[in-house]
């Protein structure tokens, strides 16, 4: 039930200079502020907890990025569905995330997106509270949530419980510089996913185990690491997500981009992926939750054919890795 839209709604507050305390007022970043999410390799932070930590990501390199903008909810598409929202984050001009921020906490109200004429709508009948305020080292809490996501006639229900605890404080070092007065939160999302097809309801489970480092001035965590595990029909799938945030226009590291073409795009029953590199590569196609729905290795200057007839209509991402270089392209299935 996660990846991309969960990656989009993970919020950050501003750190108090001495007390390392977050409040609702600290969290709100000015409208029109822009940021870049630099995706990096996953790092297990579970053993780096406690006070006076130094989290060092100075040698991390970027293999993909996503642009974020802070928006006025009333000024973005889909706002009519979320009249209680007072904060919005736009991801790559594709997804608008709607939030409610009060003195007691920050809650996800849902999201709206439109990719190639295909609408994506997520709503919560019981909103998902991300954090309670104030946030200080040792603070903890939990919240139940229930909602659904729909796209191109496909509806997925979700419900579960999120628990969180501030497990670390200290300094975080990134390629963009060092940040003191940082807090690290451990969040565990234990959920149930349900889908309807042919008059029948199918259920699965989803857990998201994440560590997030919060610093001053960023509307979502500066550093995020998570492991998402889903189970459907006895089949277990596990994926990791990792990123470092930066101010707009700042890249964690510039790597050579792999060269490939994806066509037709939008696609229906088949899509072709042409590797224009002279070296071998790995091709992955990921859905909106971050699940890999297709993977194949290719030789240099090779075109592969992908049967997409069994994929639901919506937005996907094609990732191509050549050695340590990874580039991505968006793919729309109609």
Q: What is the pLDDT of residues 118-132, one digit of tens each?
A: 889 999 999 988 888
* pTM, two decimal places: 0.71
Query: Does 17 score more than 60 pLDDT?
Result: no
Tell how strand 64-71 and strand 200-214 pair up. unpaired
| Mean pLDDT (whole number) for 179-189 | 90
Report the C-alpha gap between 44 and 50 in whole angstroms. Answer: 15
296-312 burial, b if ≥16 CB within 10 A, otherwise e?
Answer: eebeeeeebebebeebb
Report the C-alpha gap between 90 and 189 in whole angstroms. Answer: 23
Range(s) of the chain covered by CATH 2.60.40.3080 = 260-333
How confident is residue 251, by pLDDT bands cut at 50, 70 and 90? Answer: low
Report the sign of the C-alpha dihedral through residues 70, 313, 129, 86, in that order. Answer: positive
What value does the mean pLDDT of the chain take?
A: 81
- Among residues of the chain, what percentage have pLDDT more than 70? 83
Tell how strand 200-214 and strand 292-298 pair up. unpaired
Query: Does 295 score more than 90 pLDDT?
Result: no
Task: Please give the helix or strand (H or E) that residue 27 lies within, else none.
Answer: helix 24-27
The residue with tokens 């796209």 is: 151
- Is 188:162 a contact under the CB 8 Å cutoff? yes
According to the model, what pLDDT value does residue 36 have?
82
Phi first, then psi: give them for residue 94, nearest 5 degrees: -115, -40
**Which tokens is 184 given?**
């690290």
Query: Does 8 score more than 60 pLDDT?
Result: no
Quick one: the chain helix, strand, coil %, rounded to 5? 5, 60, 35
How confident is residue 68, by pLDDT bands cut at 50, 70 and 90? Answer: confident
26 Cβ contact list (under 8 Å, min separation 6) = 13, 14, 15, 16, 216
Residue that wins the pLDDT comparison between 55 and 154: 55
* Residue 208: Cβ-neighbour burial (10 angstroms; 0-12, 13-18, 19+): buried
How confident is residue 213, by pLDDT bands cut at 50, 70 and 90? Answer: very high
According to the model, what pLDDT value does residue 45 have?
96
**Which tokens is 159 given?**
């419900």
- Is 2:227 a contact under the CB 8 Å cutoff? no
Phi first, then psi: give them for residue 74, nearest 5 degrees: -70, -15
Query: Does 176 score more than 80 pLDDT?
Result: no
What would the CATH number be for the domain defined by 260-333?
2.60.40.3080
Residue that wins the pLDDT comparison between 191 and 200: 191
- Among residues of the chain, what percentage have pLDDT more than 90? 31
Helix (H, G, I), strand (E, B) or coil at 229: strand
Query: Does 253 score more than 60 pLDDT?
Result: no
Residue that wins the pLDDT comparison between 72 and 66: 72
| Mean pLDDT (whole number) for 34-49 | 89
Report the C-alpha gap between 260 and 237 in whole angstroms. Answer: 27
């Amino acid at each position: 039930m996660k990846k991309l839209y969960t990656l989009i709604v993970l919020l950050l507050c501003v750190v108090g200079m001495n007390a390392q305390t977050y409040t609702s007022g600290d969290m709100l970043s000015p409208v029109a502020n822009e940021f870049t999410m630099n995706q990096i390799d996953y790092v297990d932070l579970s053993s780096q907890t406690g006070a006076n930590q130094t989290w060092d990501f100075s040698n991390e390199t970027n293999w993909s990025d996503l642009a974020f903008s802070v928006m006025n909810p009333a000024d973005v598409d889909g706002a009519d569905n979320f009249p209680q929202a007072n904060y919005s984050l736009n991801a790559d001009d594709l997804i608008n995330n709607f939030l409610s921020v009060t003195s007691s906490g920050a809650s996800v109200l849902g999201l709206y997106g439109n990719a190639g004429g295909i609408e994506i709508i997520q709503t919560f009948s019981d909103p998902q509270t991300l954090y309670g305020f104030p946030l200080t080292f040792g603070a903890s809490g939990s919240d139940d949530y229930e909602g659904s996501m729909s796209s191109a006639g496909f509806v997925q229900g979700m419900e579960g419980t999120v628990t969180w605890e501030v497990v670390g404080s200290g300094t975080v070092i990134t390629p963009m510089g060092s940040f003191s007065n940082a807090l690290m939160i451990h969040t565990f999302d234990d959920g149930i996913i349900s889908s309807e097809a042919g008059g029948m309801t199918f259920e699965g489970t989803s857990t998201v185990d994440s560590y997030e480092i919060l610093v001053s001035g960023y509307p979502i965590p500066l550093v995020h690491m998570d492991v998402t595990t889903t189970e459907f029909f006895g089949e277990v799938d596990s994926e990791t997500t990792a990123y470092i945030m930066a101010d707009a226009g700042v890249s964690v590291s510039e790597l050579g981009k792999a060269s490939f073409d994806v066509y037709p795009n939008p696609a229906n029953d088949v899509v072709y992926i042409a590797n224009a590199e002279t070296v071998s590569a790995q091709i992955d196609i990921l859905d909106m939750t971050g699940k890999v729905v297709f993977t194949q290795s290719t030789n240099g200057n090779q075109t592969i054919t992908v049967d997409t007839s069994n994929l639901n209509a919506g937005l996907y991402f094609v990732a191509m890795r050549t050695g340590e270089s990874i580039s991505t392209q968006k793919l729309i299935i109609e």
